């Protein structure tokens, strides 16, 4: 470079013109309503699209000479799609493959979003685990096994005490809900709440004393008769209904909790990936290249100001030396980082 003469001609467009095209391309992302998120100023942007119930993030990386050099679009989380290769890079989009100075970055990314919505990619792995399932819990003592007739052996008549049910309560007096007529016999209670045995168990009327005594040893028949009582049947139905309501309520609460935790997890995961990508060696190298070009452009502007006699020689020497030292420092860091990247294979 001739510091005191005319600028050296290069084949690369001037940085001012290139930056204008770069800004115009970046602005096309907003004009296409893609809502881009800037993770690295003028270098990396992220676009989120919902495809097949999954949030797919497109990472748009702009090289230093963009739009002269084409952009790179990668996908996260890892997906399976004909347009995506094993490194999660978009390789099947014709608008990206044939990208040039006169192309539109917004249209190219929009074509990827439309393809993903038309043919949703499949997530390679899910970290959500199996779906929660519940098996209804059968009511305890469904057959009222506590109603044992063993203690009635030796008695000539049916028991006078009502059977016990779980919780220490007793069977309520049986109420006949059939339409009452003058000839029908209503159910009455004895001894302050004990149902009339003959009314509650009408089938016992036709049995002889011998048959009644023989029934004392047939526990299954006695349990069946007790379970057919209207109040006992209603108690079992109410308990089953209450159990189902509790299970449904638990499922709804767990579903809401799961959705909230999943949304929070995905938000934190996206934020973590965004922050971690800023410290990738390749991203740091890109930032150094851009900063180096800015410092070189500043040095050229200082020379231009001296040639136009806008500054004196003392001010020129002070500003030019500082700018060139900054250029050499950034160039040295970029070259050293490049060696590290090539050595470790980033």
Question: Tens-of-pLDDT digits for all 346 residues of the chain?
Answer: 444 444 444 444 445 688 888 889 899 988 888 889 999 998 999 999 988 888 999 999 999 989 889 999 999 999 999 999 999 999 999 999 999 888 999 999 999 999 999 999 999 864 433 333 333 334 444 443 343 334 444 334 444 444 444 444 444 444 444 444 433 344 444 444 555 666 777 777 777 888 878 778 888 888 888 888 888 888 989 999 999 999 999 999 999 999 999 999 999 999 888 888 777 888 888 888 999 899 999 999 999 999 998 999 999 999 999 999 999 999 999 899 889 888 887 6
**Spatial contact of 52 and 126, defined as CB atoms under 8 Å apart:** no
Q: Which residue has the tokens 């347009």?
A: 83
Count of all residues that appear for the chain in the document: 346
Provide Rg for the chain, Cα atoms. 42
Pairing of strands 72-76, 79-80: unpaired
**Spatial contact of 152 and 131, defined as CB atoms under 8 Å apart:** no
What span, in angstroms and rounded, lies between the C-alpha atoms of 261 and 301? Answer: 54
**Which positions ≥6 away from 93 have C-beta within 8 Å?**
73, 83, 108, 111, 112, 115
Q: Is the pTM of this model over 0.75?
A: no
**Spatial contact of 105 and 67, defined as CB atoms under 8 Å apart:** yes
Question: Which two three-digit tokens encode residue 179?
Answer: 């339409």
**Residue 288: burial class (beta carbons within 10 Å; 0-12, 13-18, 19+):** buried
SS3 190: strand
Q: Which residues pair with 72 in a beta bridge?
A: 61
If you count DSSP H runs as helices and E runs as strands, how many of each does the chain have, helices first?
A: 9, 8
Query: pLDDT at position 52, please?
Result: 82
What span, in angstroms and rounded, lies between the C-alpha atoms of 107 and 96? Answer: 9
State the DSSP H helix or E strand holding residue 339, giving kind and residue range, or none if neither.
Answer: helix 313-344
What span, in angstroms and rounded, lies between the C-alpha atoms of 46 and 271? Answer: 11
Q: Which residue has the tokens 């001010």?
A: 315
Provide the strand spans (E) within the chain.
37-40, 44-51, 54-61, 72-76, 79-80, 122-123, 189-190, 194-195
């Amino acid at each position: 470079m001739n510091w005191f003469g005319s600028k050296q001609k290069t084949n690369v467009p001037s940085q001012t013109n290139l930056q204008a095209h770069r800004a115009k391309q970046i602005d096309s992302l907003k004009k296409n309503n893609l809502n881009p998120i800037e993770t690295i100023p003028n270098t990396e942007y992220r676009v989120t699209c919902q495809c097949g119930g999954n949030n797919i993030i497109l990472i748009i990386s702009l090289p230093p000479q963009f739009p002269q050099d084409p952009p790179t679009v990668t996908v996260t989380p890892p997906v399976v799609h004909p347009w995506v290769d094993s490194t999660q890079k978009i390789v099947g989009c014709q608008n990206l493959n044939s990208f040039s100075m006169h192309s539109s970055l917004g249209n190219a990314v929009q074509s990827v979003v439309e393809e993903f919505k038309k043919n949703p990619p499949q997530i390679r792995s899910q970290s959500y685990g199996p779906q929660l399932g519940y098996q209804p819990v059968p009511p305890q003592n469904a057959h009222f096994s506590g109603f044992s007739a063993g203690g009635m052996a030796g008695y000539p008549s049916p028991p006078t005490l009502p059977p016990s049910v779980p919780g220490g309560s007793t069977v309520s007096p049986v109420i006949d809900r059939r339409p009452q007529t003058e000839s029908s016999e209503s159910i009455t209670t004895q001894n302050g709440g004990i149902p009339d045995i003959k009314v509650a168990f009408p089938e016992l009327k036709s049995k002889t004393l011998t048959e009644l005594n023989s029934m004392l040893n047939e526990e299954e028949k006695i349990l069946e008769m007790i379970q057919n009582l209207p109040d006992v049947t209603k108690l079992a139905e109410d308990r089953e209904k209450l159990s189902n309501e509790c299970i449904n309520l638990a499922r709804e609460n767990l579903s809401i909790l799961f959705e909230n935790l999943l949304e929070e997890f995905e938000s934190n995961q996206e934020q973590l990936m965004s922050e971690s990508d800023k410290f990738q060696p390749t991203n740091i190298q890109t930032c150094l290249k851009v900063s180096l070009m800015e410092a070189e452009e500043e040095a050229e502007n200082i020379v231009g100001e001296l040639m136009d006699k806008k500054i004196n020689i003392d001010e020129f020497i002070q500003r030019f030396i500082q700018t060139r030292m900054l250029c050499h420092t950034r160039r040295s860091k970029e070259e050293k980082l490049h060696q590290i990247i090539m050595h470790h294979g980033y």
